[in-house]
Amino acid sequence: MDNQIKNITNKYLNSKHRLMDIFHDIQKKSGYISENDIKSISELLNISSVDVIQTLSFYHFFKKKENAKYNIYINESIVAQMYGHKRILQAFENATKTKLNSISADGNFGLYSTSDIGMGDQEPAAIINGVIFPKITTYRVKEIIKEFRKGKSAQDLVNSFGDGHNQDNLIRSMVSNNLNRRGRVIFSGYNSEDALDIIVDKTPEEILHVIKESNIRGRGGAGFPIGLKWQYCRQATGKTKYIVCNADEGEPGTFKDRVLLTELPKRVIVGMIIAAYAVGASKGIIYLRKEYDYLIPYLKNSLTEAEKNNLLGESIKGRKGFNFDIRIQLGGGAYVCGEETALLESCEGKRGEPRNRPPFPIEKGFLDNPTVINNVESLCAIPKIICKGAEWYRSLGTKQSSGTKLLSISGDVLYPGVFEVEWGMTIKDIIDMAGGLDTKAVQVGGPSGKLISKKEFSRRIAYEDLSTGGAIIVFNKTRNILDIVMNFTKFFIDESCGSCAPCRYLTVILKNKLQKIIDGKGVENDLLELKEWGKKMKIANRCGLGQSAANPILTSLENFRSDYEDAVQSDKKYISSFDLEKSILAGAKAASRFPAV
């Protein structure tokens, strides 16, 4: 057996729950995970090879076949599309002399598409061998490929650093923060470590009380009260409790966690420590999306620093019995892993398929232990609440939505980037703040959220009105609503885990119907069917991804009905999208026939 594999699995104590890490290590060494590797892993971990393969095949950044020397993943999100994704893709195809989803003849270049990589404020962007290339132009494509042909590495081609800590020696990335507005909580100036000095003199119950009083709710999108979640987990029985930081922001259009992890990793860590203290947890996991793995050395260093300063480890801040440590779990490229139970499955080395709930993670989470899963932004806000108190925090925002919210604003605005605002701001003010002109539509909360039109621009972002995880994509009047909806619908098809049949099939049927309409072959009845079938998605799928996969279609049908009506032929009752000539091509060729239809 290969000694290299043995060393790697040994490093993870031959635990099947560390399958993700084992794959990452092997892929880093040899570029892909071979049949032999799979056999070795299954023997060493004492699991069947099918178990290895099912995890391996789930994540799109893992490769089972020999990889190219340079693997180019081009972002295909809607914002990338608006900023010239097609042009860039063509430029890459021409320069590398290869087609999308294939490897060039010389084995040098592999060209792939990927869902939103969290760079909505600097599109079009691509990931090449783990290095992020933002704001790519066709000129830059030629330059990159030319240099690669000379043997340069992707890191060699970093020709400028972004702002802030992107310039840190451990990051050295071209990514920019585009932090356009600092607010009074998350991006305010204070020392988050002060919060730890405060908590060690108090009981966990007192901390729970403050968090509950502050009325802070989860920032991932669902908005569950954080204090309650912590309290339930504290009350749950279990020897080892876990705090998991959900840094798998995959919702197209969101990129705030990227900036938080770059600029304020310590506040995230302190937030986790406070959670651990309040809940009585001893272990922490940061689940980081694969797209952000350029931040790993920097984040690991932040954890080491925290250990050195006795913020992590044993007897934290001198308080006996307060032990907590954190490890980073890297994902493999799957949007659905942002769903908390899918995330847990992934942490356990399995396919990222959502679990049935109940039981909820607070009772049976990571390896069936009581687990709190919080968004990066939620955790980042906690230290400030501890420092300034619940009442102060409640004075910000609205009645049901206290505090501030980070917005990731992208699309047709002059100043795309991250904005920290108080809850309660109107969509109109948000557009004006980011410099949107001639705005026709705004996608609030990413594809799983709502596409709203002008008549709703006076609505406010707040749990009592428009709740959101913070992704705001702005579209001006030149944009075609149906193209936007198509992009989002394809996204859900790509990212469905395939577990629930409606999410697996109906998404494709809906896409085909939408394509029929875009092709000018739609009739009134197609709109009716889109709506009726779309509604079924809400009741027939297990997780949020499936339940919201038809949201782009449903909300645009509601708010942009006339765009659809203009596209369908209203005088016809039925149009088929079937094309006989095209459909017999393959069959005729296979039988060596060249017929007249």
Partner 1 sequence: MNKPIIATTSLAGCFGCHMSILDIDDKILELIELVDFNKSPITDIKKFTRTVDIGIIEGGCCNSENIHILKYFRDNCKTLVSLGECAIMGGLPAMRNNIPIEECLKEAYLDGPSTHNPEGIMPNDEELPILLNKVYPCHEIVKIDYFLPGCPPRADLIWDALTALVTGEEMKLEYGVFKYD
Q: Footprint of partner 1 on this chain (CB under 8 A)?
A: 573-574, 576-578, 580, 582-593, 595, 597
Residue 280, SS3 per DSSP:
coil
Which is nearer to partner 1, 152 or 572 (by Cβ)?
572
Quote the least distance from Cβ 179 to partner 1, whole Å: 48
Quote the least distance from Cβ 590 to partner 1, whole Å: 4
Quote the least distance from Cβ 577 to partner 1, whole Å: 7
Which is nearer to partner 1, 105 or 596 (by Cβ)?
596
Please say whether the dihedral angle defined by the alpha carbons of residues 43, 48, 49 and 51, taken in this order, is positive or negative: negative
How do 70-75 and 126-128 pair as beta strands?
Answer: antiparallel
User: One-letter amino acid identity for 137?
Assistant: T
Quote the least distance from Cβ 78 to partner 1, whole Å: 29
**How far apart (Å, rounded) are the C-alpha atoms in residues 90 and 208?**
54
Which is nearer to partner 1, 286 or 568 (by Cβ)?
568
Quote the least distance from Cβ 287 to partner 1, whole Å: 34
User: One-letter amino acid identity for 361?
Assistant: P
**How far apart (Å, rounded) are the C-alpha atoms in residues 491 and 551?**
12
Quote the least distance from Cβ 570 to partner 1, whole Å: 16
Quote the least distance from Cβ 576 to partner 1, whole Å: 6
Which is nearer to partner 1, 410 or 496 (by Cβ)?
496
**How far apart (Å, rounded) are the C-alpha atoms in residues 52 and 352?**
13
**How far apart (Å, rounded) are the C-alpha atoms in residues 45 and 126?**
35
**How far apart (Å, rounded) are the C-alpha atoms in residues 522 and 524?**
7
3-class secondary structure for 156-197? HHCCCCCCHHHHCCCCCCCCCCCEEECCCCCCCCCCCHHHHH
DSSP string for residues in 351-408: --PPPPSSSPTTTS-GGGS-EEEEEHHHHHHHHHHHHH-HHHHHTSB-SSSBSEEEEE
Which is nearer to partner 1, 217 or 516 (by Cβ)?
516
**How far apart (Å, rounded) are the C-alpha atoms in residues 127 and 268?**
25
Quote the least distance from Cβ 86 to partner 1, whole Å: 27
Quote the least distance from Cβ 552 to partner 1, whole Å: 24
373 alpha carbon, distance to own chain's centre: 15
Which is nearer to partner 1, 150 or 573 (by Cβ)?
573
* CA-to-CA dists, residue 479 to 82, 83, 199, 549, angstroms: 8, 12, 51, 21
Which is nearer to partner 1, 438 or 579 (by Cβ)?
579
Which is nearer to partner 1, 528 or 588 (by Cβ)?
588
Residue 332 tokens, joined: 């493999």
Which is nearer to partner 1, 334 or 506 (by Cβ)?
506
